[in-house]
Chains A and B, each alone.
Chain A
Amino acid sequence: MLLALKNVSKIYKLGDQEIRALNQVTVNIEEGEFVAVMGPSGSGKSTFLQVASLLSSTEEGTILLKEKNVTKYSEVELARLRNKEIGFVFQQFNLLARTSAIDNVALPLVYAGVGAAERRARAIEMLGKVGLSDRANNTPSQLSGGQQQRVAIARALINTPAIIFADEPTGNLDSKSGEDIKALLEQLHAEGKTIVMVTHEAEIARIAKRLILFHDGELIYDEKYGYNKHLKSQKTIEYVDMLKKTRKTPRLLFGKVTGK
């Protein structure tokens, strides 16, 4: 088991009020899985991503990464762990401005203490893998959205992490670039990479092999195991049914229906 969350909660205190962005979430992710995380806004899917990718600490529960309990790790230890085991792909790419593609891709290696020559070599290799060898020296402003996201994916891969976490990877892209990124993610999955992806687009969610669903901070549905028994209600069933249906139709946004 690669990543295991057990009874994890994320609690914010507002005065004397307690807000549970995540409530007692238990989920296991095996090596090589491709998981889509869905749910309406405010459902906690983004919070889940933050906690699972070790960006945010938890107030309750335990997290095990590669069998190690990392729940109480310090900020420094978590940073090191993220550097080594986690790859990030953001909706807004988050590349360093006015910095070349090569230097962007190599950034995780800088924090891993890798020397300049090796960094350069590995970055070029990774850019080749995502099909951007000829754009090595371009800065983000000289790249299209799709190309920028590919650079970001190359960056996420460069330290051979255990898991890739993608947060709406096609959210800022046009449909053509979105297709390119979809294809790239599918290819990575076929090569054995473990990917956890938050998306609200059913079209994108389709390429994943497993769907988990959040609602009001609860994990209400895990395709692998079925419903969360405690939360199974008529409303939830309708919810999931609609989702299952929409997974098969293109471009149906959650909560909104856009005509074709």
Chain B
Amino acid sequence: MNFINTFTIALRAILLNKRRSFLTMLGVIIGVGSVVLLTSLGTGLQSYVKDQFDSLGSNVLYVVPGNPFANGGAGSENAILERTKPTLKVKQVQDILRQNRDTITDGSSTVLDTAEAKYSNVTKRVTLYGVDASYPNVLNSPASKGVWFSQSDSDRSKRVALLGTTIAEELFGKTDPVNKRIKLNGQAYVVVGVLESKGGSFGGPSFDDYVYIPINTLFDNFSSQTVNRFIFKVRNQEELGIAKANIEKTMLKDLKKEEFTVFDQTELLKTINNVLGVLTAGLGGIAAISLVVGGIGIMNIMLVSVTERTREIGLRKALGATPNVILSQFLIEAALLSIIGGMIGVLIAYIGTLAVQSFFPAKILPESIALAFGVSTAIGIIFGAAPARNAAKLSPIEALRSE
């Protein structure tokens, strides 16, 4: 009595009553489908966030006032408060650049504000991003049309601006914005360039939505007066640690330790990924409960099936089936139901992922599929064990005597 024979018997039993088999599988289909789909959304998000960071350029160090990571982490109330503390000074960037010429290639201060932008008859509230002329060297933001403003433009607080792709389109439509004038809070600014698209930033303002002006211009004409952060580009991945230490040393000359924080992308990414990870796990956990329910469904149906087939089991035993053979037959039946249900679930999750991909980042990993397969098998075997054991333990005589 080999495995193939038992397998064929089990498979045939499942195919014999397709409707019941399908209804039995339904719990597992839904369970696996939802777990795989939800985790694919989570992984998709995490991978999307990482891609966003990568597109900004790696090897970037950020310096912000206070400590946004304490007491709730980035994005919390505390972080926003910290950001507006007037601890960073523009001249500190120059100091740091001067002292770390071999490890740090360039740096810029940045500050955010808002203004009303107007071109011809289009008015729009925009986010102003005040930066140094060195900004494009730090964060990989080439101009697709026109040019970036120069350091002298910045020193003289010239009223020039670069537009993100989206803003350019919204204000100018198909017209070329370069060398045209826009009004920011009523003041005239010359558009010197349009930036390359950086892609959507899910759930937040995109770099394509900003209006970039020299930082000094912003300080002179708008309400924000404090630097939000510094950004520095480090030459090599390996030198990130050294650069970070040196920056901290320089900053400590003017400030106390708790008045600023230096971090690189990875920490930020880690924080975000942690949140996403917890979210994904939470959703996955809830979906996993439905998997358990699916398993219970299998167990119930198998119990009924064994009772209904008591006569048949008695006959098989009379003809030579040993208890182990009967046990294997029913275990394989349960496992098969579960595995087939799992695969259908994965298929549905895959279709769901494709459907959702147009407006939400979602990605199915091969690991998820392998895991779904493994879990399905386990569920089938675990929840099929009791019914299978009942079947194996039947006495041939009693079984043959039953209705």
Taking beta carbons and an 8 Å cutoff, which residues of A are in contact with B? Answer: 50, 55-56, 75-76, 79-80, 82-84, 88, 90, 94, 96, 98-99, 107-108, 110-113, 155
Contacts and interface: CB of A to CB of B under 8 A. Distances in A.
Interface string B379-398: 00000000000000001110
Nearest to A76: B322
B1 to A, nearest CB: 5
A99 B309 CA distance: 14
Contacts of A112: 1, 320
Nearest to A155: B319
**Interface majority SS (helix, strand, loop, mixed), chain B:** helix
B16 interface: yes
B400 A111 contact: no
Contacts of B16: 98
B159 interface: no
B321 A79 contact: yes
Contacts of A99: 12
Contacts of A80: 320, 322
B320 A108 contact: yes
Given A76-B324, A82-B318, 12 more contacts: A56-B395, A56-B396, A79-B320, A82-B319, A83-B320, A90-B400, A99-B12, A107-B316, A108-B320, A111-B316, A112-B320, A113-B2
B5 interface: yes
Chain B: number of interface residues, binned into ranges: 20 to 34
A66 to B, nearest CB: 17
A84 B1 CA distance: 13
A56 B319 contact: no
Contacts, number: 55
Q: Which 8 A-B pairs have the closest CB atoms?
A: A83-B320, A111-B320, A79-B322, A76-B322, A94-B315, A108-B319, A55-B396, A110-B5
Nearest to B2: A113
| Among B2, B318, B319, B321: residue with most chain A CB under 10 A | B319
A82 B312 CA distance: 16
B98 to A, nearest CB: 83
B320 A94 contact: no
A76 B318 CA distance: 11
B320 A82 contact: yes
B297 to A, nearest CB: 24
Most chain-A CB neighbours within 10 Å: which of B320, B321, B400? B320
Given A111-B1, A113-B2, A94 B400 contact: yes
Contacts of B322: 75-76, 79-80
B229 interface: no
Contact of B9 (A76, A98, A110): A110
Contacts of B5: 110, 113
A96 B312 contact: yes
Given A55-B397, A94-B311, A98-B16, A111 B318 contact: no
B316 A50 contact: no
A213 B244 CA distance: 102
Contacts of B311: 94
B323 interface: yes
B325 interface: yes
A108 to B, nearest CB: 5
B323 A83 contact: no
Interface in B317-341: 317-325
B323 A76 contact: yes
Nearest to B315: A94
A107 B319 CA distance: 8
A147 to B, nearest CB: 18
A84 B16 CA distance: 28
Contacts of B9: 110
B317 A79 contact: yes
24 contacts: A50-B397, A55-B318, A55-B400, A56-B396, A76-B323, A79-B323, A80-B320, A80-B322, A82-B320, A84-B320, A94-B311, A94-B315, A94-B400, A96-B315, A99-B12, A107-B316, A107-B319, A108-B319, A108-B320, A111-B319, A111-B320, A112-B1, A113-B1, A113-B2
